[in-house]
Amino acid sequence: MAFERFVRSEDLPYDYTIAGSVAEAKKILASQSFDVALMDHILGDGTSLDLFEAAQNMPIIVITVSSDQQIAVDVMKAGAYDFLAKDREGNYLIALPIIVTHAVERWQAQRELLQYQNHLQEMIKERTKAMLEGELRLLTIVESTPIIVFSLDIDTKFTFVAGHTEEILGYSPSDLIGKSLLLLFPDTEEAKMRFQAAYFGEKFSNDVEINGHWLSISAFAKWENESIIGIIGVVHDISERKRAELAMAQERNLLRTLLDNIPDYIFIKDRQGHLVESNGAHAAGAKLMPEEIISRTAVEVFDNAVTEQFHADDLQVMDSGLSVTNEERITTAVDGSKRFALITKVPLYDDNTREIVGLVGISRDITDRRKIDEMRLQATQLRIEIEKEREVIEMKQRFIATASHDFRTPLAVINMTAHTLETYFDRLSPEKRSQKLKQIQSQVVHMVDLLEAVLTLSKIDAGKFPFCPRLFDLKIFCDRVWEDVIGMDEQQHQHHFDFVASILQIKADEHLLQYVLVNLLSNAFKYTPEGGDVHFHIANDDQFITFKISDTGFGIPKVDLKYLFEPFYRASNVKNIQGSGLGLMIVKAYIELHGGTIAVDSEEGVGTTFTAQLPLYV
């Protein structure tokens, strides 16, 4: 084709696609993008006009084999950019590159211009919308907020009014137009004088009460050609704020009244320790009025040594941010007397920066309360001592009664036996005489043991009992005690000795410890029926040596356990078995002399376990 030959010969930088029919051209235009479309007017299956819709996004240049003006008019009306008529010499091809370039540039310029116009229209639309929205917002604010917007002429007459005029002033906007603002003021002359500032170009601001409403009026001059032609202003209804301020003032007065009538010292200090607030009691403590104490420090006001401690407390609270609550301090009153106070101090923060700017303090004089508490404590201690004394007296009375009975019984036996010997001596066989003498000896031994126990308790109670701890071999000692006790066992019991202590020596009073173990082991054998078990277990840990004596005997009734270590007390289920009722009390006293403890665990009909613990080093 002539076009292809021309492009190659001129080395034109064109990328092109050639279609042989309208149908083929439509497919190509639908799938590819081009900068320009060159079309023969007459095509095999139609004309160039059939492709204008498909090529609407690019400039179209139509080429015909004739210079028919009607064809040129038709294609140009349809939207062609240019029209070329072929000649036999091919001169139209020479003009083609120029026409193509112009077509592309013009098309691009038109596209950019159209985009700019569209952008400009969009901007205008957005700005118009923003202005409308702004006006709507302003109108909404004016209508929804208790304010009035107005303008006045040079004679203070309304030229424009908008807002809640009826609710605030009792007039509609139309009622106010042409009327003077000064008519609304209760004192017209004073208001006029105040308004003069605005007419001289200064900003005017004032609060005034009109028709039961508190209004804040702000106004400034409206200028034109360097002259003041009126005033523009805003009226805010501040009735709620005024009511809140009034309520706050009333609350402040109430709080001031309360603070000044509270006997506690209440004060506020800044970071430097200067008093910025003080209630009446605090100021009176320094013999000053509240206003006289302000800006002074505690050292300047109270002038006693404890103020240094108070200042140290202040610094600790303000530096750490931690409160001090109900800490007791000793103070000195103005008259020099010693007083006691409970101090509470809380850091005070700046609302905006949240930095500590001082502290709030409360000091409560508790001197009288302490005296009352001390008196109550003394009374309580006295009651306890009286109760203890009463218990001691009762115990001594019970002790005397029981001891008298326990001594009277063997004496009666001795007396009766002696009388029998004296009366019937000649009639008694030598064996009967010997038996009676042994009865007397047995009762004498029993009385001696009883006397020794009583004397022992007396010495312990008086704190005069000898206590002589020394080091000795624990294993040898326990073996000897065990052998001595089982040697006296007249019944066939099951014996169990378990020494698992890891220490070799113990420091204790050997004589007292022997009494403790012999007594506990003897009781285990005494109150365990024949064939029962008796265990002797010795162990230790880092601090204590433990002696555990267990049996499978009668056991102790639960009601008797808490009285078991009292003098002359015996369990209710073994009163038929001889005993003084003093042994366990002495055992407990001996163990406590060593700094140890003893505990009992028992169940009637099952058995009893005594556990004695002594510290390793007495």
Contact criterion met (CB below 8 Å) for 324 and 313:
yes
Q: Which residue has the higher pLDDT, 547 or 574?
A: 547
Given a cut of 60, whether residue 138 has pLDDT beyond it is: no
Give the residue-averaged pLDDT of 334-346: 80
Q: Which of 54-58, 197-201, 419-423 has the lowest mean pLDDT?
A: 197-201
Mean of per-residue pLDDT scores for the chain: 81
pLDDT of residue 208: 77
Dist. CA 399–CA 254, nearest whole Å: 70
Strands 46-47 and 147-153, bridge-based pairing: unpaired
Give the residue-averaged pLDDT of 371-390: 86
pLDDT of residue 522: 86
pLDDT of residue 413: 67
Percent of the chain with pLDDT over 90: 13
Strands 42-43 and 356-365, bridge-based pairing: unpaired
Spatial CB neighbours of 46, under 8 Å, sequence gap ≥ 6: 21, 22
Q: Which residue has the higher pLDDT, 316 or 113?
A: 316
pLDDT of residue 533: 93
Q: Which of 122-136, 267-281, 522-536 has the lowest mean pLDDT?
A: 122-136
Given a cut of 90, whether residue 538 has pLDDT beyond it is: yes
Dist. CA 546–CA 523, nearest whole Å: 18
Given a cut of 70, whether residue 128 has pLDDT beyond it is: no
**Number of residues in the chain:** 618
Give the residue-averaged pLDDT of 223-234: 82
pLDDT of residue 248: 81
pLDDT of residue 402: 56
* Domains of the chain, first to last: 2-115 (3.40.50.2300), 145-243 (3.30.450.20), 263-365 (3.30.450.20), 372-457 (1.10.287.130), 466-615 (3.30.565.10)
pLDDT of residue 552: 93
pLDDT of residue 534: 94
pLDDT of residue 144: 54
Dist. CA 322–CA 443, nearest whole Å: 77
Given a cut of 90, whether residue 498 has pLDDT beyond it is: yes
pLDDT of residue 582: 74
Q: Is 499 helix (H, G, I), strand (E, B) or coil?
A: strand
pLDDT of residue 430: 84
pLDDT of residue 477: 94
pLDDT of residue 443: 67
Q: Which residue has the higher pLDDT, 143 or 223?
A: 223
Give the residue-averaged pLDDT of 545-567: 88
Given a cut of 80, whether residue 273 has pLDDT beyond it is: yes
Most confident option among 149-163, 200-214, 493-507: 493-507
Give the residue-averaged pLDDT of 163-179: 83
Give the residue-averaged pLDDT of 372-384: 87
- 38 falls in which pLDDT band (50, 70, 90)? confident
Give the residue-averaged pLDDT of 403-418: 66
Strand partners, 539: 546
pLDDT one-digit tens code per residue, 58-114: 888 888 876 677 887 888 888 887 877 777 766 777 778 888 888 888 888 778 777
Most confident option among 214-218, 343-347, 384-388, 402-406: 343-347
Dist. CA 180–CA 18, nearest whole Å: 85
Dist. CA 258–CA 248, nearest whole Å: 15
Helix ranges restricted to H, 32-149: 69-78, 91-144
Given a cut of 60, whether residue 470 has pLDDT beyond it is: yes
Given a cut of 80, whether residue 525 has pLDDT beyond it is: yes
pLDDT one-digit tens code per residue, 291-304: 888 888 887 877 66
pLDDT of residue 278: 85
Given a cut of 80, whether residue 502 has pLDDT beyond it is: yes
Give the residue-averaged pLDDT of 386-410: 64
Give the residue-averaged pLDDT of 214-230: 81
Dist. CA 544–CA 596, nearest whole Å: 9
Dist. CA 613–CA 598, nearest whole Å: 6
Strand partners, 305: none
Q: Which two structure tokens, joined as six digits, stand for 159?
A: 């030229």
Q: Which two structure tokens, joined as six digits, stand for 8?
A: 């190659």
Dist. CA 21–CA 45, nearest whole Å: 6
pLDDT one-digit tens code per residue, 427-439: 888 888 788 787 7
- 480 falls in which pLDDT band (50, 70, 90)? very high
Q: Which residue has the higher pLDDT, 202 or 31?
A: 31
- 131 falls in which pLDDT band (50, 70, 90)? low
Give the residue-averaged pLDDT of 547-554: 93
Given a cut of 90, whether residue 609 has pLDDT beyond it is: yes
Q: Which of 77-91, 238-252, 406-420 has the lowest mean pLDDT?
A: 406-420
pLDDT of residue 59: 87
Q: Which residue has the higher pLDDT, 471 or 392?
A: 471
Q: Please return the burial class of 213, using the count of CB atoms within 10 Å of its CB with bins 0-12, 13-18 and 19+.
A: middle
- 607 falls in which pLDDT band (50, 70, 90)? very high
